[in-house]
Amino acid sequence: MSSLSKFTFKTLAKAPPVDPIQRRRDKIIAAIEQQKLVLAAAIKGETFTVPAKAEGKPAKAVRAWWVGQDNGYYVQCRYGARPLLLNAANNAVFVNKLDEVSAVLTAFAAAAKAGELDAAMAAVAERKKG
């Protein structure tokens, strides 16, 4: 044990568990922030990409949460690959111009921070388990 005697020993307490609701909120807020970057690239006529996880692979394009249809844009808030129900029956917000998508994304982020999307995210998370 003489080779370890020069060190100071302490007990490291286990990190407190992260609240699953807060983890979901953090995940969706990060995704919304990424969508703002996708929007900025789309307005410039570019495609937003993220580096591939594996070295040597091509960069991956990030799919937008909006689609142009009916002379406007439908914007969805997604948790993973699934759209969230934003009220009792609807999963999208309609805007007339691409520039208006930013306000919707900001509203999604505010709703996520306030916990307004918790039930919808929990429903999607439960669906994944089943």
Q: Note the pTM of the prediction, 2 decimals.
A: 0.81
Looking at the predicted structure, is the pLDDT value of residue 31 above 70? yes
Residue with tokens 């999607």: 124
Looking at the predicted structure, is the pLDDT value of residue 14 above 90? no
Domains in the chain, number: 1
For residue 11, is it within any domain? no
Instruction: Give 35-60 pLDDT, tens digit per residue.
Output: 999 999 999 999 999 998 888 889 99
For residue 14, is it within any domain? no
Mark 41-61 as b/e (b = at least 16 C-beta within 10 Å). bbeeeeebeeeeeeeeeeeee
For residue 106, is it within any domain? yes
**Domain ranges, residue 100:** 20-129
Q: How confident is residue 1, by pLDDT bands cut at 50, 70 and 90? A: low
**For a pLDDT cut of 90, what percent of the chain falls above it?**
67
For residue 3, is it within any domain? no
pLDDT of residue 130: 53
How many residues does the structure list for the chain? Answer: 130
Ordered DSSP codes for 60-107:
EEPPPSEEEETTEEEE--EETTEEPPSSSS---EEESSGGGHHHHHHH
Q: How confident is residue 101, by pLDDT bands cut at 50, 70 and 90? A: very high
| Separation CA 120–CA 86 (nearest Å) | 8
Looking at the predicted structure, is the pLDDT value of residue 62 above 70? yes
For residue 82, is it within any domain? yes
